[in-house]
Chains A and B, each alone.
Chain A
Amino acid sequence: MPNNSIEKLPTYLEIPPIKKNSMAGKGPFKASIDIQKDLGFPGEKVDNWQQIAIDKIAETKSKYRSVQVFLDSCMKCGVCTDKCHYYLGTADPKNMPVARQDLFRSVYRRHFTFAGKYFPKLVGAKDFDEDMLDDWYNYFHQCSQCRRCAVFCPIGIDTAEISMAAREVMNVIGVGQKYPNQILGKINKIGNNLGMPEPALRDTLADLEEEIEEDTGASVKLPLDIKNSEILMVTPSADFFAEPHIDGLIGYAKVFHQSGISWTLSSYASEAANFGMFIGNYDVMRQGALRIRKAALDLNVKRVVVGECGHAWRVAYSFWNTLTGLGSGGSDEYSLKLQNQLDSNYPQPQHMIEFTYDLIQRDKLSFDKSKNDHRVVTFHDSCNVARGSNMGDIENGQFILPREVIKAACNNFSDMHKSTIKSATFCCGGGGGLLTDDLIDLRIKGAKPRMHALKQSEQDNGVNTLAAICAICKSQFSKVLPNYDFDPYMIVSVHQLVSDAIILTKDSET
């Protein structure tokens, strides 16, 4: 295991000189025939893959303005080249955002543009051949779709859009990645990424209730499939079993308990994560989201709240209303069916952080902040929350609200360097469908810029706790923190901090 070696961190994070092919390779494990077929993709690479791929590119760019405009509009200014954590961590030039896009763009130019058809060398147009496909597979799986490059691009070119389109093209020709596609099969069949069936989930929740009662003496409930509850809670399934995620789940339960508002989890929609986004497939992403629509309708809830998960919140906040009508302001029959049921006094969907923040603002929660006095906390802005969503419907709310919740529960908070947080936050290194052991080398290297900022905070401000609101960030940090000489247990959920400091009302008091 690479966990034995500790990566050295420089005092100043330099932009490395390019090291060609330093991350060349075969890429992550490929999906098996069965996994591919489950999602409706060809099981293996099809014979006439080139033609099918070109046709798919044509279709994609006709359906997504982003793809068409971004392929045309790059002027190669190069200011994105030093913005990607994978480039900073690996020095492989194909991990520079523009070079990653160029893998796609060179094929686009060759097959779809005048200059590329007649003067390919002049404009860097290339045929879609086996070598190019290998590069696509390798390097489009070295992109966590974190969108940091897009924040710095003067045209707003978003490499994530290109990377999603590329993965979609590869899936359509039968070249899929095992990790996300296998997980998507599970969510479609069972309802969550883990493939955890209803009885197992019910047991887990019962155990948790016992545990909380032992610890606190309060009978905090984690209800499952309770019809007519006020709130449907949709959270990443990692919250049900993984450390440190589960302590965050306990935190949500305690907040709901204090709020006095009835809530329920759903066994049918026991997953907020939606890897359909990572593979750029609208239909797969929609299928995942439709489970939540169905659960909300079946359970007849008034509100939908989403737990701590980065890309899930992007999908929920930015895409659910589009995909399923779960939101507000719809005018078509389809969305109104759900929107008339939901309570329009609240944002739909709402993030758990927004829910807790609102209670704090209204003085409904009390905290014993000294419970967190052994901690000096910093907050890692998860990329999809930071760059692809909002909270509180105020400008930059997605940066303000989580920090305010932390500060309500902790006395010691200190931000990392400003060039590494908020909209400029560095990815944890494991997002976008890369949180798999076959990519561990990439994950460790990609975490370097974040780890560097954290190390500075440790040295300057004594930071010993890293809080996050993303299941992938939490898993990734647990794994890679030791590689940078940190305690793997320093990563916590924001709602774990809430959980540790919240003062619960015991049953006898109510």
Chain B
Amino acid sequence: MSLISIFFTVFFYFSVLVFITGFSYKVIQYWNTPAPLKIPIAPAPLKKSGVLLRLSKEVFLFATLFKSSKWTWLFGWSFHLALVLLFFRHLVYFWPGEIPLILLKTEPLKYAAYPLIFGLTGLLGRRIFVDRVRYISAPSDYLMLLLIIVIGASGMVMTFANNHPNMLLVKNFAEGLITFKWSELPSEAIFLAHIAPVFFLIAIFPISKLLHGPGIFFSPTLNQVDNARKKRHISKWAMQKEKNTKIDLEHNQDEGG
């Protein structure tokens, strides 16, 4: 195998390892951190089914974003949706062995690259031209958008401008990563520019703002049922406090009476 193939193969496993370790660490951390108080934000659901509906609307439709800013919603939602569609489009490369029929029919999903670039350009423009958003942007915020733009643009150049690398090599390389049967990757610059930022983003996911992905599910303002006075909600550490001060309380009462 060529040096470059070895590099990208190692890069891939490194990224995935960092991703799985870091992501699990964060999810376990969120899971284990208590939410001591009920803080659902209005309009707060009174039942568990309402929480499910609320989170679904947020995750699939970006409902609150729509309420807050129509342009940002348009850019953000089309970008995320395109990302999901393009993910499915790419499964065909990684699928080991016989490819299911459904994956062979995903070719039209390639057009999702257009809304992807549209959304990302919009978000980048907003970051550059709206003074308030510019003020809150760190270099990493631009960098992340640029990286995904590079991924999308390089993909489009390969797909729509007839610059396909050797597809057999792509398939063997991608499938090889999954089945541990490593093989050469196409060494065209455009292909490398396509996969390098992908691997990089996978690696930085658990140490960056990309954590908003798992974060939204753990957001107490969104995932809590508004039933505080009907059902006692108490964290372990607060319960411990109660046990420690209970005697004092009884004592005070005796004094008073």
Cβ-defined contact, A79 with B65, below 8 A: yes
Assuming the contacts A96-B135, A155-B215, asked whether A78 and B42 have C-beta atoms less than 8 A apart, the reply is no
- Which residues of B sit under 8 angstroms from A66, Cβ to Cβ? 35, 39, 219-221
Assuming the contacts A69-B219, A115-B207, A155-B212, asked whether A328 and B140 have C-beta atoms less than 8 A apart, the reply is no
- Which residues of A sit under 8 angstroms from B62, Cβ to Cβ? 154
Q: How far is the CA of A96 from the CA of B69 in the complex (A)?
A: 15
Residue of B nearest to A83 (CB): B68
Cβ-defined contact, A322 with B37, below 8 A: yes
A348 within 8 A of B: yes
Cβ-defined contact, B219 with A115, below 8 A: no
A60-99 interface (Cβ within 8 A of B): 61-66, 68-70, 72-83, 93, 96, 98-99
B167 within 8 A of A: no
Among B34, B130, B140, B241, contact of A65 (Cβ-Cβ < 8 Å): B34
Cβ-defined contact, B34 with A322, below 8 A: no
- Which residues of B sit under 8 angstroms from A325, Cβ to Cβ? 232
A182 within 8 A of B: no
Residue of B nearest to A398 (CB): B42
Cβ-defined contact, B132 with A156, below 8 A: no
Cβ-defined contact, A347 with B33, below 8 A: no
B3-31 interface (Cβ within 8 A of A): 26, 29-30
Assuming the contacts A72-B215, A82-B132, A395-B46, asked whether A349 and B229 have C-beta atoms less than 8 A apart, the reply is yes
Q: How far is the CA of A267 from the CA of B21 in the complex (A)?
A: 56
Number of residues on chain B facing chain A (CB within 8 A): 74
Cβ-defined contact, A328 with B36, below 8 A: no
- Which residues of B sit under 8 angstroms from A422, Cβ to Cβ? 42
Assuming the contacts A69-B218, A319-B37, asked whether A152 and B64 have C-beta atoms less than 8 A apart, the reply is yes
B137 within 8 A of A: yes
Cβ-defined contact, A155 with B29, below 8 A: no
A6 within 8 A of B: no
Residue of A nearest to B59 (CB): A154
- Chain A's nearest CB lies how many Å from the CB of B145? 10
Cβ-defined contact, A158 with B229, below 8 A: no
A345 within 8 A of B: no
Cβ-defined contact, A72 with B211, below 8 A: yes
- Which residues of B sit under 8 angstroms from A73, Cβ to Cβ? 209, 211-212, 215-216, 219
B103 within 8 A of A: no
Among A93, A158, A297, A334, contact of B246 (Cβ-Cβ < 8 Å): A334
Cβ-defined contact, A321 with B219, below 8 A: no
Q: How far is the CA of A76 from the CA of B212 in the complex (A)?
A: 10
Which of the segments B93-101, B148-156, B168-176, B249-257 contacts the partner chain? B249-257
Residue of B nearest to A121 (CB): B139
Residue of B nearest to A87 (CB): B132
- Which residues of A sit under 8 angstroms from B219, Cβ to Cβ? 66, 69-70, 73, 155-157
Residue of B nearest to A102 (CB): B136
B157 within 8 A of A: no
The digit string for B218-251, where 1 denotes a CB below 8 A from any CB of A, is 1111100010111111110111011000100100
- Chain B's nearest CB lies how many Å from the CB of A271? 18
B106 within 8 A of A: no
Among A290, A322, A330, contact of B238 (Cβ-Cβ < 8 Å): A322
Assuming the contacts A63-B36, A317-B228, A322-B37, asked whether A93 and B135 have C-beta atoms less than 8 A apart, the reply is yes
- Which residues of A sit under 8 angstroms from B256, Cβ to Cβ? 294, 298
Please tell me the size bucket of the interface on A.
35 or more
- Chain B's nearest CB lies how many Å from the CB of A328? 6
- Which residues of B sit under 8 angstroms from A214, Cβ to Cβ? none
Q: How far is the CA of A332 from the CA of B41 in the complex (A)?
A: 27
Residue of A nearest to B62 (CB): A154
B208 within 8 A of A: yes
A12 within 8 A of B: no
B184 within 8 A of A: no
- Chain B's nearest CB lies how many Å from the CB of A24? 15
Residue of B nearest to A72 (CB): B211
- Chain B's nearest CB lies how many Å from the CB of A189? 14
Cβ-defined contact, A327 with B42, below 8 A: no
- Which residues of B sit under 8 angstroms from A65, Cβ to Cβ? 30, 33-35, 218, 220
- Residue among A78, A93, A98, A152 with most chain B CB within 10 A: A78
Among A63, A79, A321, contact of B233 (Cβ-Cβ < 8 Å): A321
Cβ-defined contact, A290 with B249, below 8 A: yes
A237 within 8 A of B: no
- Which residues of B sit under 8 angstroms from A283, Cβ to Cβ? 241
Cβ-defined contact, A335 with B232, below 8 A: yes
Cβ-defined contact, A153 with B64, below 8 A: yes
Which of the segments A29-37, A228-236, A383-391, A454-462 contacts the partner chain? A383-391
Cβ-defined contact, B249 with A294, below 8 A: yes
Cβ-defined contact, A154 with B221, below 8 A: no
The digit string for B35-71, where 1 denotes a CB below 8 A from any CB of A, is 1111101111110000000000010001011011100
Closest 10 CB pairs of A and B: A73-B215, A124-B138, A156-B221, A78-B133, A81-B132, A156-B222, A329-B231, A79-B68, A423-B42, A330-B232
Q: Please give the residue numbers on chain B whose beta carbons come within 8 Å of chain A beta carbons, in ascending order.
A: 26, 29-30, 33-39, 41-46, 58, 62, 64-65, 67-69, 72, 76, 123, 126-127, 130-133, 135-141, 143, 204, 207-212, 215-216, 218-222, 226, 228-235, 237-239, 241-242, 246, 249, 252-253, 256-257
Given contacts A68-B29, A282-B241, A335-B232, 4 further A-B contacts (CB under 8 A): A64-B34, A318-B229, A334-B242, A395-B45
- What would 24 A/B residue contacts be, using CB atoms closer than 8 Å? A64-B35, A66-B35, A66-B220, A69-B220, A72-B212, A75-B209, A79-B65, A81-B132, A114-B207, A115-B207, A115-B208, A122-B143, A150-B221, A151-B64, A152-B68, A154-B68, A156-B58, A156-B216, A156-B222, A282-B238, A297-B253, A321-B228, A327-B230, A387-B42
